Amino acid sequence: MKRWSAVLAVAAVCAGCQDKVQDDKPTRAQIRKTGPATMEVIPADGQLPYCMLYTVSEKGVIRQLTLTKENRSIRCEANKPVANTSFRIPTQEGKVKVYIFFSDDRIPAGPVAQQLYDLRAQERISAMDLRLPGRVQVETLDFVPELPSMDAQGEAPKAPSNAPDMGVTVNKDNAPGAPQPAASGQDK
């Protein structure tokens, strides 16, 4: 009887330790909400130097936020917003998962988009799920866009006219769709 009590006590202590390890997992980036439906993504210290951002909405829409002319990952500095911009998330698509792909080299966005499309039914995606060159680390964060609050006259505030929209929806053939208003800021 004493042996079973000792085994159960050790099992309980080990289970508590495993929960603590999962809770202490370091985050590679954080989301800073800059408005009801806008956010900045801030990489933490010690991350790989290049990154790429995608969102996958509750409705299944996949958007590439870090779109460049070369369609490759961009340089991401620690403790500074990715691309020095805020990204606007369409409220009609609901909650989004933000996938941040950190890499040791600039990787093409096409294969990442295709693999995201193929893995879209999975709850979580890790670097082990991807077939990409070099070292790749993945951080998954959630963001819930909200409708803007109404002013005294019952109207929603208007977006600044000097903030251009950018972003692209990725379709099943990995071909960029028509530009969608997914982000506002500067193209880097």
Per residue in 73-98, pLDDT (tens digit) is 999 999 999 999 999 999 998 999 99
Q: Kind of pairing, strands 96-103 and 136-143?
A: antiparallel
Helices (H), the chain: 2-23, 109-118
Q: What is the dihedral of CA 75, 76, 81, 82, to 10 degrees?
A: 60
Asked if 72 and 36 touch (Cβ cutoff 8 Å), the reply is: no
Tokens of 145: 């866009």
Per residue in 94-124, pLDDT (tens digit) is 999 999 999 999 999 999 999 999 988 888 8
CA–CA gap between residue 106 and residue 127 (Å, rounded): 16
In total, the chain counts a number of residues equal to 188
Q: Note the pLDDT of residue 11.
A: 56
Region for residue 60 given its phi and psi (left: phi exceeds 0; alpha: psi -120 to 50; beta: otherwise): left
- Evaluate if residue 34 carries a pLDDT over 60: yes
pTM recorded for the entire structure:
0.69
Write b or e for each residue in 150-168: b if 16 or more Cβ atoms lie within 10 A of its Cβ, otherwise e. Answer: eeeeeeeeeeeeeeeebbb
Q: Note the pLDDT of residue 178.
A: 47
